[in-house]
Amino acid sequence: MLGNGETGEHIISAGKMGYDNCAKFVRRSVFCQSESDAIGGVATKMMTGKGVDSAGNVKCVSLEDSATICLANVSCGKNHTVAVEAPSSVGTPRVFTWGSGDYGRLGHGIQADEYTPRLVGGLRGPIFATNHPVSAVAGSNCSLIKTKNGHAYYVGKHKQGGESTMRPTLVDALANNGHVVASIGAGSQTVFCSTKSGVTVSWGHGSYGELGYGKDENKSSSKPKFVLGLDSCLVTDVACGMGHTLFIVSDEDEEDAKALKKVSKVEEKDVSQFVEQIKAKKVASDAGADEPAKKKQKGKGKK
C-alpha cells in the first residue's frame, strides 16, 4: 500500500491471501457496473432476483470505455476506496467504489464487497446532468460525495447507533437551506461539511472533541450541528483523523482576518503538558521492556 513494491498482501478469497510485488505503479483499467444499471434498471430489480446469480451475487459487466476512464479525485477509507471521474466531453463524471461493502459504504444498496471499481448507479441520471459529482471523501465506514452545485451526498454509517444509509442520500439539512458546500471530510466516526458562506457543520461521535463543539457542549450529534468556533470562517479543506480534525481556513481579505481572530489558537504551552505525559509513558514503557532482560542476566549468574 506504500507503493514501494514490497509485500502487497491482499485478500483473494476467504482464508486465502495473495501478494503483489510490483516494482512500479501499474495502471488498472477495469471498471464495471451491475447488469441492472447497464440496462437502466432500478434498485428493486436486484432484490427480486433479476441481475443476481445463483449464489446471490450481483452480476456485473465491464464498462466498454474502461481503458479511457480518467479519474480526477480519489479517497481511501479504512477498507474501501471512492473515486470520481474527471470531466470530459463524452458524458457526466461518474463515481466508482470498491473494497469492503460493510454498512453499505460503497453505495450499491447491499452489503457486499467489490474487488473491481464499480459504478455507483445512485449518482447517475437526469438530476446529475448539470450537477455532477466533483469530489469524494472516504471515512472508516462511510463515503461523502460533493457535487458541482455544492450538494453533499452521504452513504454508509459513521455513528455507533442507528441504521446504515445504503444508498447515496442528499444531506438535505444543508441543501434545503440554500447552503453551497465547499469542502467535505469524513473520519472514523465523524463527518464535516463547510460552505461558501462560512458555515461549518459536523455530526457523528466525537469522544475527543474532534467535532469541534467546544468543551462545554455535547461531544456527539446525530444530526448536522453548527461548529460555532469556525463561524464566518471560509474553510477550504478539512481532514478528519482518528480523534482529531484539521482545517485549512482562507485568509485573503479583511473579512477572513476578522473571522480568524475569533478562532482559538493552539500555543506551545497548551501542548507542553501533553508532550510531558507522552514522554513519561515512553520512559515507563522502556523500563518495563528492560525488566525481563535484567532478570535473565541475573539468572545466568546463579548456579
Cell of 61: 459487466
The answer to whether 85 and 94 have CB atoms below 8 angstroms apart is yes
Residue of higher predicted confidence among 158 and 294: 158
In 3D space, the residue among 94, 115, 110, 133 whose CA is nearest the CA of residue 43 turns out to be: 110
In 3D space, the residue among 163, 141, 142, 140 whose CA is nearest the CA of residue 154 turns out to be: 142
Phi/psi at 299 (5° precision): -65, -30
With a cut of 50, say whether residue 46 has pLDDT above it.
no
In 3D space, the residue among 182, 303, 296, 203 whose CA is nearest the CA of residue 250 turns out to be: 182
**Residue 118: its H or E element:** strand 114-119
Q: What is the mean pLDDT of the chain?
A: 85
**DSSP for residue 126:** G
CA quadruple 265, 267, 273, 279: dihedral sign: positive
Is 0.75 topped by the overall pTM? yes
**Measured distance CA(182)–CA(200) in Å, rounded:** 10
Q: Which residues contact 224 (CB under 8 A, 6 or more apart)?
A: 171, 173, 174, 193, 201, 202, 203
In 3D space, the residue among 112, 77, 85, 71 whose CA is nearest the CA of residue 1 turns out to be: 77
With a cut of 80, say whether residue 163 has pLDDT above it.
yes
The answer to whether 190 and 222 have CB atoms below 8 angstroms apart is no
* pLDDT-based confidence at residue 240 (cuts at 50, 70, 90): very high
Give the CA distances from residue 255 to residues 189, 198, 250, in Å, rounded to whole numbers and listed in that order.
32, 11, 10
Chain segment 169-196, per-residue pLDDT in tens: 999 999 999 999 999 999 999 999 999 9
Chain segment 132-144, per-residue pLDDT in tens: 999 999 999 999 9
- For residues 20-39, give the mean pLDDT: 77
pLDDT at 202: 97
DSSP string across 148-178: TTS-EEEEE--SSSS--EEEEEE-HHHHTTT
Picking from 6-10, 95-99, 293-297, which range would have the lowest pLDDT averaged per residue? Answer: 293-297
pLDDT at 215: 83
Chain segment 267-287, per-residue pLDDT in tens: 777 778 878 888 888 888 877
Chain segment 112-125, per-residue pLDDT in tens: 999 899 999 999 99
Percentage of the chain exceeding pLDDT 90: 60
**AA letter at 279:** K
Tally the residues of the chain.
303
With a cut of 50, say whether residue 130 has pLDDT above it.
yes
* pLDDT-based confidence at residue 93 (cuts at 50, 70, 90): very high
Q: Position of cell 502487497?
A: 8
Give the CA distances from residue 69 to residues 22, 62, 66, 93, in Å, rounded to whole numbers and listed in that order.
22, 12, 5, 10
Chain segment 215-232, per-residue pLDDT in tens: 888 989 999 999 999 999
Picking from 39-48, 67-76, 214-223, which range would have the lowest pLDDT averaged per residue? Answer: 39-48
pLDDT at 193: 98
pLDDT at 185: 97
* pLDDT-based confidence at residue 29 (cuts at 50, 70, 90): confident
With a cut of 90, say whether residue 53 has pLDDT above it.
no
Give the CA distances from residue 233 to residues 102, 182, 201, 244, in Å, rounded to whole numbers and listed in that order.
35, 12, 12, 19
Percentage of the chain exceeding pLDDT 70: 82
